[in-house]
Amino acid sequence: MARTPADLVGARPDPPFEITFDGRRVTALPGQTVAAALWGAGILAWRTTRDGGRPRGAFCGIGQCYDCLATVNGEPNRRACLVPARPGDAITTQEGHGHDHLAV
């Protein structure tokens, strides 16, 4: 009986690559979104809310809920469940609306 999703579909992926999440190395497979790569590493939260500072991650999984917003290579408000992971991507936890550096 299959034990992993990859076993189930007989996946023979192209070679994996590395991205980072808050500086920590995470292995991603080509064709995975940022959110899928993070789930694959057991990471479920990569954003904190504006008011409560509560952790959030992918919820709807199809680009509708915007809970999975992440900062990708310095750019905030990217939907991690839609954006493909690329070798060397630096994913960082998005705090609040992601534009704190613009605050005056």
Partner 1 sequence: MTTSPSEPGAPRARNTRDDTYDLAVVGAGSAGLAGAVTAAGLGLSVALLDASAHTGGQFYRHPAPALGAVRPEALHHDWSAFSDLRRRLAESSVTHLSGHHVWSTVPEADGTWTVHAVTGADGAAERPARVRARALLLATGAYERQLPFPGWTLPGVVGAGGAQAMLKSGLVLPGRRIVVAGSGPLLLAVASSLAAAGARVPAVVEAAGYLRYARSPRALVTNPRKAAEALVHGAALLRHRVRVLPGRAVTEVHGTDRVEAVTVSRLDGDWRPLPGTGRRIACDALAVGHGLVPQIELATAVGCATRPLPDGTLGLALDDLQETSVAGLWAAGETGGVGGAELARTEGEVAGIAIAARLRGRQGATGRTAGLRRRRDRMRAFADVMATAHAPGPGWTAWLDDDTDVCRCEEVPAGRVREAVADLGARDARTVKLLTRAGMGWCQGRMCGTAVACLAARDGVAEPPSERRPFAVPVSLAALAALEGTADTPHPEAP
Residue 74 within binding range of partner 1, rule CB under 8 A: no
Tokens read off for 15? 């070679």
Binding of residue 58 to partner 1 (CB under 8 A): yes
Q: DSSP secondary-structure letter at 37?
A: H
Interaction with partner 1 in 6-45: which residues (CB under 8 A)? 6-14, 29-33, 35-37, 39-40, 44-45
CA distances from 54 to 47, 84, 90 (A): 8, 25, 22
| 69 is a site residue for partner 1 (CB under 8 A) | yes
Q: Cβ(10)–Cβ(2) under 8 Å?
A: no
Task: Note the residues at the interface with partner 1 (CB under 8 A).
Answer: 2-14, 29-33, 35-37, 39-40, 44-45, 49-52, 54-67, 69, 75, 78-79, 81-84
